[in-house]
Structure 1
Amino acid sequence: MTDFDPNPAADFLLEARRTGARPADLPEACRPRTEAQARAVQDAVARRLGPVVAWKVGAPGPAATPNRAPLHAGTVSEADTLPASRFAVIGAEAEIAYRLGRDLPPEGGPYDRETVLAAVAALHPVIEIADTRFSAFGAADPLSQRADQQNHGALVIGPALAEWRGLDPQTQPVRLRIDGRVVHDGVGGNVAGDPVRLLVWLANEGAASLGGLKAGQVVTTGSCIGTIFVDPGARIEAEMPGLGEVAVTVTA
């Protein structure tokens, strides 16, 4: 990351948020060229948006290096409704999230799987709304998308399940309804495979630059259904038998 200053890209993304402008991509002069540079832009944005209350973490395959994005109170809630005016696009994703019950600071690591799981207080069903600050979803350079919270729009958190140890996320049934119609009904479906691997990576590496994982933070671990784009006014309902249900209406 030698000689890379993340602040011009952070300035650009924050201005796009403020004005609602939809640039095609980050300017060439400040575009990240590596995952580390994209993460540095995320961190620069995060430090100006306020305390991190949640994280998203994912990977394109079971053996791939994970990626992450810090999330903030302005886009994380238990809301039953969200205004469609907040989003350029509305991409519905059903996910499984872990809520931390205690801190996992960088200086306390490295953490093994059981230590990280022992810090988990609850599991939640969640809906992430995928969105973009760019002119079209998925059109910008992949590292520019990563820098911009990896296409995050909002995270809606369902009820907590404290007795979660018997659940296997990789065999968890997941059903998604849009306006009452089932559009997905399957088992597992996270392309990253085991989400606990992602959680351990986040605790040991991904969250270190922002002080590590902290009690109360929620970590969502990637879509179990892909991304299903919906229209303003849609009612999105995710059902995960044994874990719980979560729903949100994106009001027109």
Structure 2
Amino acid sequence: MLATPEQETIARAFLAARAEKTPLTMYPGAMPQTMAEAYAIQSAAIDFDGRRIGGWKVGRIAPDLVERYGGERIAGPIFADEIAADGAAMPVYADGFAAAEAEVLLCLGEVGDREYDIEAVRACVTEVRTGIEIASSPFPDINRHGPAVTASDYGNNKGLVLGPPIPDWRDRDLITMPVEMRIDGDPVGAATMETMLDGPFGSALFLIRTLRARGIAIAPGTWVSAGAITGVHEIAVGQRAEALFDGKIRVGCSITGY
């Protein structure tokens, strides 16, 4: 779906707010009502932005909204220059929305044009890491108007922290791995990937199919941030986020503002 002139105006408004680090007190136009409309805005913004995409985030649509929006997940780009190492300082929009999410990260190899199922996706993955997705948008209410609005501004992504690898991922059931999230040392969530529909590989399968439908190629080395495991945890400038995977693998970052 090509963006309409109005959708291009929305995309440019989000880009300007991100570049100028200024909040958007209102959504800059007519809110998208479908995922097709949301991805039209998102794709226009990607084209206008011009930066290289190094990964994609996958988020879940609330169960009560699945029928309305025709699916269970959304996707948004993660730009290569906003992918950082464990311990990095990650900037967010201080007057917008900001959150940190504990996620499993899958690195895709050569995707090609073959048909995929869960097992084929597993074979395509070259590495699995622990990580933290930084969600942030200059629009403070981005998550209060449904998944199409969230998807329209890069899926509410502002970066990715690459944590240590999970060395034995091919030989274990990742679904049952315990994950904990802390902010400034205080526990804010704990869960396993059993809450993630068909798990991280299902997220990657969704992403491959969605990007194909949008005509977007997936380069080898693309990261998939597979979805929030313990929840979406709002965070403020000056705080520190840390996730603990399997009781022993830690990844963290500090939060800075513009």
In the superposition, the TM-score normalised over structure 1's length comes to 0.85
1:94 is displaced (CA, Å) by 0.5
Q: Is the 8 A contact 2:107 2:223 kept in 1?
A: yes
**Match in the other structure for 2:50:** 49
Q: Is the 8 A contact 1:4 1:37 kept in 2?
A: no
Secondary structure of 1:205's counterpart equals helix
Identity of aligned residues (%): 27
Secondary structure of 1:150's counterpart equals helix
* AA aligned opposite 1:223: A
Instruction: Name the CA distance, whole Å, in 2 between partners of 1:211 and 1:137.
Output: 24
Q: Is the 8 A contact 2:11 2:45 kept in 1?
A: yes
1:120 is displaced (CA, Å) by 0.5
| Map 1:19-98 → 2, pairs under 5 A | 19-23=20-24, 24-28=26-30, 31-47=31-47, 48-60=49-61, 64-82=71-89, 84=91, 86-87=93-94, 88-98=96-106
Secondary structure of 1:213's counterpart equals coil
- Flag the structure with higher helix content: 2
Q: CA 1:241 to 1:78, structure 2 compared with 1: closer, same or farther past 3 Å?
A: same
1:142 is displaced (CA, Å) by 4.2
Q: CA 1:39 to 1:161, structure 2 compared with 1: closer, same or farther past 3 Å?
A: same
Q: Is the 8 A contact 1:130 1:154 kept in 2?
A: yes
Q: CA 1:2 to 1:213, structure 2 compared with 1: closer, same or farther past 3 Å?
A: closer
2:188 paired residue among 163, 183, 189: 183
1:230 is displaced (CA, Å) by 2.7
Instruction: Name the CA distance, whole Å, in 2 between partners of 1:104 and 1:49.
Output: 23
Q: CA 1:241 to 1:111, structure 2 compared with 1: closer, same or farther past 3 Å?
A: same
Task: Provide, for residues 197-232 of structure 1, a one-character-per-residue CA deviation record: whole Å limited to 9, x for no partner.
Answer: 221121123355353322111101110111222332
Instruction: Name the CA distance, whole Å, in 1 between partners of 2:12 and 2:172.
Output: 42
Task: Provide, for residues 71-112 of structure 1, a one-character-per-residue CA deviation record: whole Å limited to 9, x for no partner.
Answer: 102322115232556543431210111011x2213xx13222
1:18 is displaced (CA, Å) by 1.8
Q: CA 1:243 to 1:10, structure 2 compared with 1: closer, same or farther past 3 Å?
A: farther
| Map 1:221-236 → 2, pairs under 5 A | 221-236=226-241
Q: CA 1:77 to 1:146, structure 2 compared with 1: closer, same or farther past 3 Å?
A: same
* AA aligned opposite 1:104: V
Q: CA 1:59 to 1:84, structure 2 compared with 1: closer, same or farther past 3 Å?
A: closer
1:131 paired residue among 126, 133, 136: 136
1:211 paired residue among 216, 220, 223: 216
How many residues are paired up? 247
Q: CA 1:26 to 1:161, structure 2 compared with 1: closer, same or farther past 3 Å?
A: same
Does 2:249 correspond to 1:244?
Answer: yes
**Which ranges in structure 2 are unaligned for 5 or more consecutive residues?**
none
Instruction: Name the CA distance, whole Å, in 2 between partners of 1:113 and 1:83.
Output: 32
* AA aligned opposite 1:151: N
**Match in the other structure for 1:15:** 16
Q: Is the 8 A contact 2:86 2:161 kept in 1?
A: yes
Secondary structure of 2:236's counterpart equals coil
Stretch deviating more after TM superposition (61-70 or 155-164)? 61-70
Secondary structure of 1:138's counterpart equals helix
**Which ranges in structure 1 are unaligned for 5 or more consecutive residues?**
none
* AA aligned opposite 1:8: T
Does 2:177 correspond to 1:172?
Answer: yes
Q: Is the 8 A contact 2:238 2:255 kept in 1?
A: yes
Q: CA 1:251 to 1:149, structure 2 compared with 1: closer, same or farther past 3 Å?
A: closer
Q: CA 1:242 to 1:219, structure 2 compared with 1: closer, same or farther past 3 Å?
A: farther
